[in-house]
Structure 1
Amino acid sequence: MVVTRHLLPSIEARLGELFDATFNQADLPLTHEQLVAAVQEADVLVPTVTDRIDAELIAAAGPQLGLIANFGAGVDHIDLAAARARRIIVTNTPGVFTDDTADLTMALIIGVPRRLREGTALIRRHEWTGWAPSVLLGRKLGGKVLGIVGMGRIGQAVAWRARAFGLTIRYHNRHRLPQAIETMFGAEYVEDLDTLLRDADIVTLHAPATEATRGMISAERIASMKPGATIVNTARADLIDYEAMIAALESGHLGGAGLDVFPQEPKVDDRLVALPNVIAQPHIGSATVEGREASGEKVIANIRFWADGHRPPDQVLEGLF
């Protein structure tokens, strides 16, 4: 087994006890050549979102590779069709980061309209001259429309939190949720994404990156949004045309953005860093001790089930093996 990134010590210790595991103590993303070497020798690969497991890499795998036990819920960095063709089982760790990501999303939903980045910068520059009735005026949340794009586990967790702040919840999803769930969250379904984007004061993205969703927040759709609207993205950078978003932020059409994901991580565009109305975080949506530990435990459980000849509980390619 090859584990591509440094995990929590308790998880690595357990993996080392149970399996013949090789760890990445440097905790830098493996190069393509190192990943090729790993899949040619390992029977189990434990990758993360920083590893591109594409068709070329899977084609280079040795016949012994039987399981890709992903650390994390998202699997858009893995070519699932190529894995299926090679009869390699893919598992993930769903559910463990739901609350953590929703908490960070809510922090951005609050922080951008209330200009928390600008206030913090003012204090750190020692330029604050005291309370004043017209300084750093933000926007209140109560009564504003929150548009949630993608109403899965995380989208629903955000809706639950946002309702307590008096936000009006509207959502767009591939399929409408049952009425009972809509009632629980006080959420209104909007079938047309363009309508949702035009009406929302704050848009938060919680869709996976697929062929259907990549670039869905396009230049045209950003232009159609309300002047002063906010975009929050803790999902995948591929969902947004970042060039168009930056232009809209610089022009003042968008009021701000809260971002935890970027197109060329770990690089962050200097224009985003310079904008005072952007709160940028280093992909920390799942960065809690509890969440990372729970994800590691799911990885261990999936490997143990597979090693014992059983179907892993979190198999992604359900029904195909």
Structure 2
Amino acid sequence: MKKNVVLFSKIPADQQARLEQAFNLTLFDRTPETEPKAFIKALANADGMIGSNMPTRIDDSFLCQTPKLKAASTISVGFDNYDLAALKKHGVRLMNTPKVLTEGTADLIFTLLMATARRTVELSNLIHNGQWTKSITPEYYGSDIHGKTIGILGMGRIGKAIAKRAHHGFDMNVIYYNRSAQPDAEQAFNAKKLELDEVLKTADFIVIILPLTPETDRLITKEKLALMKPSAILINGARGRVIDEQALIAALKSKTIKAAGLDVFEVEPLPTSSPLLQLDNVLLSPHVGSATVETRYAMAKCAVDNIIAALKDEKPTENWVNPEVG
């Protein structure tokens, strides 16, 4: 007898067909956040759920209303809105898609670094606005990238992919902050592990790719930003709440740091009232680290593989967030 699965995101047709073949599939084509009651009703008899950008908190209260649920497959590497303790209590397996988005996300982060350093968008707008009427003067000069020091906060898969680009592509000196040493990165990229404050004081570019946890929530405060060089550039490709956004805005306004490139924000989509939109020394990107045709397809396929394996009572390995559920 087929199990019941709810799909709450649009995925490629061939991957949806795989779900339809394996399960009794229900499509929830509305927004869970704006219609939470309808979403929970759709999940009332579901054995599994699959989708991306979960805006609703999957906690004990939620799971008490979805008693048959045994597996959740998120089309993402992050799982901030899933309460792991509640999942364990209710025996719900959670899978994510960490490996398939590594290179695409690293590409985007390095794009932000390069475009922010060379002021690419700002200078492009100068031309579009008809303001390029003479040779560029020093107030529009950018910053070199090659040979500089990059400080990577979080030396996981994506951090290592960024270190590879920095070391081999731009002859950059790589330093990093991480809970544990990463000997493979140290050997391959001549990377050096330092304490957080030392990385912030030393690096010309700070790249944040840490997961959001209670320990990293607002990790980068006003005091931490003050440690950075006035010429330093900050790139955030992790989660918006790793940085105190108001402190960052103040640091950009006062030129405590030179500039920032941001793909993530405390509130998403970014409100039109955000002061970030008024600053020339910040480059904004709408949370698109994995947004390439190839990567998004690979993520959907991986997530489908995950839910099929989980509901067949197979044990996912590297994509299984909470193996303690069993």
> In the alignment, what sits opposite 2:25?
21
> In the alignment, what sits opposite 1:136?
140
- Contact 2:71/2:311, CA 8 A, preserved across alignment: no
- Contact 2:48/2:311, CA 8 A, preserved across alignment: no
> In the alignment, what sits opposite 1:184?
188
CA distance in 1 between partners of 2:30 and 2:69 (Å): 24
> In the alignment, what sits opposite 1:151?
155
- Contact 2:154/2:210, CA 8 A, preserved across alignment: yes
Cα deviation digits, residues 132-165 of structure 1 (max 9, x gap): 4646211101222111000000000000011111
Q: In the alignment, residue 310 of structure 1 is paired with which amino acid?
A: E
1:109 is aligned, of 113, 119, 129, to: 113
Cα deviation digits, residues 142-192 of structure 1 (max 9, x gap): 2221110000000000000111112211001000012x43121121111x1
TM-score, length-scaled by structure 1? 0.93
1:194 is aligned, of 194, 197, 201, to: 197
CA drift at 1:110: 0.7
Equivalent runs, 1:1-321 vs 2, <5 Å: 1-25=5-29, 31-132=35-136, 134=138, 136-163=140-167, 164-178=169-183, 180-190=184-194, 192-268=195-271, 270-313=274-317, 314-321=319-326
Q: In the alignment, residue 309 of structure 1 is paired with which amino acid?
A: D
- Contact 1:40/1:60, CA 8 A, preserved across alignment: no
Q: Secondary structure at the match of 1:13?
A: helix
- Contact 2:116/2:261, CA 8 A, preserved across alignment: yes
Q: How many residues align?
A: 319
CA distance in 1 between partners of 2:48 and 2:65 (Å): 11
The percentage of counterpart residues that share the same residue type is 34
Q: Secondary structure at the match of 1:146?
A: strand
- Contact 2:8/2:29, CA 8 A, preserved across alignment: no
- Contact 1:39/1:60, CA 8 A, preserved across alignment: no
CA drift at 1:44: 0.7
- Contact 1:46/1:69, CA 8 A, preserved across alignment: yes
- Contact 1:101/1:286, CA 8 A, preserved across alignment: yes
TM-align CA RMSD: 1.8
TM-score, length-scaled by structure 2? 0.92
- Contact 2:32/2:56, CA 8 A, preserved across alignment: no
CA distance in 1 between partners of 2:314 and 2:224 (Å): 46
Cα deviation digits, residues 73-113 of structure 1 (max 9, x gap): 11122101100011111111120110011000001111111
What runs of 5+ residues in structure 2 fail to find an aligned partner? none
Structure 1 stretches of 4+ with a deviation exceeding 4 A read: 26-30
CA drift at 1:63: 2.2
CA drift at 1:121: 1.0
- Contact 2:112/2:261, CA 8 A, preserved across alignment: yes
- Contact 1:4/1:30, CA 8 A, preserved across alignment: no
Q: Secondary structure at the match of 1:220?
A: helix
Q: 1:118 to 1:62 in 2, by over 3 A?
A: closer
CA drift at 1:225: 1.1
- Contact 1:2/1:22, CA 8 A, preserved across alignment: yes
CA drift at 1:28: 7.7
CA drift at 1:320: 3.6
Q: In the alignment, residue 158 of structure 2 is paired with which amino acid?
A: I
CA drift at 1:56: 4.1
